Amino acid sequence: MSNPLPAASIILEDRYSVGSIFLVKRAKGLKFLGGFHAFPGGKVDPPDGGIANSQDPWDIALVAAVRELFEETGVLLCHDGLNHSIKSTPMLSQIRCDLVEKRTDFATVLRDNKWSLSHSDLYPLGYFETPHFSPIRFKTRFFLAKIPSGQTPEIFEGELENGVWGNASDHLKRWYSDETLISPPVLELLEKFKKSNPLDWRLSSASGLVSTDEFHLERVRFASWIQVVSVACPGPSVPQIGNVFLVGLSKFYLIDPGALDDQGLLAIQTAIQSRVNSGDVFHGILLTHHHPDHSNSAKHFADLWNVPVYAHPATAEKLSGKVQINHLLDDCSQIPLGFNPFTGSNLVLTAYHTPGHAPGHLVFFEARTKTLFAGDLVSTSTTILVSPPDGHLKTYIDSINRMAGFSPELLMSFHGCPSAFGKSVLQNAIYHREKRESALLAALANNFETLETLAQEVYRGLPDPLMKLAQKQILAGLIKLVEEGIVSAPTPGSEEWKLAK
């Protein structure tokens, strides 16, 4: 598990329209929440510490917040030598370009222009740590600031796509109607702002907003109807993090509860209990497939809450004697999630049989919002193991292609971060397999012939404990090539795979 990196973010308030705040849309290519809306901000750079008033992490974060805001929006929260705020001018735009393109650095910009940071105009608003769903994690300190008069934010396309002003209710309305994605801590802050008068935000002690304390996400939500609980679950060599989903609103299901330890069980149990306490009904457990990281605690929660477990017949067979499957789901089975009052429409999950990783593998797709719960069809953080005899590469690729045909947008990955660009995630997975196949063919052409030597050649540099898994992937690749007549399988008594003559 990674340690969170220090980061900073600014909630920029409009000077003339009370309560209006600026959200930016993160670009598609970003690994961490690309396509999601957030406040401007980014990682703390080591030189930020050299500019800061002290080495207190809040002072350093303040520098990072001002620098990132300037780079991303052109808004500069500084004063000149006469203590006047800075105005938007062509010169300021040029300095911003030089900074973004690294022709200069922030310390030089401040020194050369005799500018100093407007410390007293920035109010700390607490910090969030990224929950464990993401392999990239941040400890983000938030500041509240008003845009200086004479400045207007302007987004250059790059790390960001665009920016939008609105009060907390406007932003939240779009999110509740599934029109935009918002990163979970930003969502939590918008909910806090909505409840209090914007004029109180910086006065605060009464509304509890100005603070240097940690904020806790009560519920990690990626849509009004999608909540995530990230837990440790069994892994091929060491435990790994898996995302358990609570899907639905007043009626909800749990997808893939694979918790390994008491801490994980407690986290899932707390999430269920909190929903039930607020009047929602827990309807059942959906399993994408039988692997323990997805099914480990299904029986525990089914017994505890007396709810049914749903899975594909092939999964039911694999889990026979371990988990009682009460409802069988086949290709195109529908699971109604009930009415969504925020959009005025019904939410329905459709199960699609997507074998290849496991024989009974299902994904769950919500067609109206184009949301895909991917199970182990693809992952945004790791390569999915296709291990014979359960795994079959050709079938696996067909399953990915089939789901790409649905053009999913939000893809909820069991391992790793959600992605707003589901179709690209699926297409990248295919591309990755094609590259591996080319490497395997090249190794065969170079007379590497056994699983061991082929794996060492194709997965050069992989740590030893993972080599056994790599050999399984190689075997899956070889079986596909044998089926296509490109490779000859070893003759009895031999271990040598060869290109077909």
Is residue 256 a contact point for Zn ion (CB under 5 A)?
A: no
H or E element at residue 230: strand 226-233
Neighbour-count burial of 163, counting CB atoms closer than 10 A to its CB (0-12 exposed, 13-18 middle, 19+ buried): middle
Judged by CB, which is closer to Zn ion: 291, or 353? 291
As measured in angstroms, the least distance from the Cβ of 257 to Zn ion is: 14
Is residue 96 a contact point for Zn ion (CB under 5 A)?
A: no
SS3 content of the chain, % helix, strand, coil (to 5): 35, 25, 40
Helix 184-195 to helix 168-176 angle (10° resolution) is 130
Is residue 68 a contact point for Zn ion (CB under 5 A)?
A: no
- Among the listed residues 37, 171, 275, 291, the single contact to Zn ion using CB under 5 A: 291
Which residues, other chains included, contact 89 with Cβ-Cβ below 8 Å and sequence gap of 6+? none
Nearest-CA neighbor of 151 among 81, 83, 69? 69
Is residue 392 a contact point for Zn ion (CB under 5 A)?
A: no
Is residue 312 a contact point for Zn ion (CB under 5 A)?
A: no
* Contact string 320-359 vs Zn ion (x = CB under 5 A): ----------------------------------------
Judged by CB, which is closer to Zn ion: 62, or 309? 309
Site for Zn ion in 370-389 (CB under 5 A): 376
As measured in angstroms, the least distance from the Cβ of 289 to Zn ion is: 6
Judged by CB, which is closer to Zn ion: 160, or 286? 286
Q: How far apart are CA 304 and CA 281, in angstroms?
A: 14
Which single residue brings its beta carbon nearest to Zn ion? 291
* Residue 194 neighbours by CB distance under 10 Å: 16
As measured in angstroms, the least distance from the Cβ of 472 to Zn ion is: 13
Helix 298-305 to helix 262-277 angle (10° resolution) is 40
Q: The tokens of 163 are what?
A: 């920016």
Judged by CB, which is closer to Zn ion: 48, or 376? 376
Judged by CB, which is closer to Zn ion: 72, or 376? 376
Judged by CB, which is closer to Zn ion: 260, or 347? 260
Total residues in contact with Zn ion, by rule CB under 5 A: 2
As measured in angstroms, the least distance from the Cβ of 52 to Zn ion is: 46
Judged by CB, which is closer to Zn ion: 40, or 375? 375
First to last CA, the chain: 48
* Contact string 206-245 vs Zn ion (x = CB under 5 A): ----------------------------------------
Which residues, other chains included, contact 131 with Cβ-Cβ below 8 Å and sequence gap of 6+? 184, 217, 220, 228, 230
DSSP secondary structure, 149-177, as one string: TT----PPBTTEEEEEEEEHHHHHHHHHT
Q: Which residues bind Zn ion (CB under 5 A)?
A: 291, 376
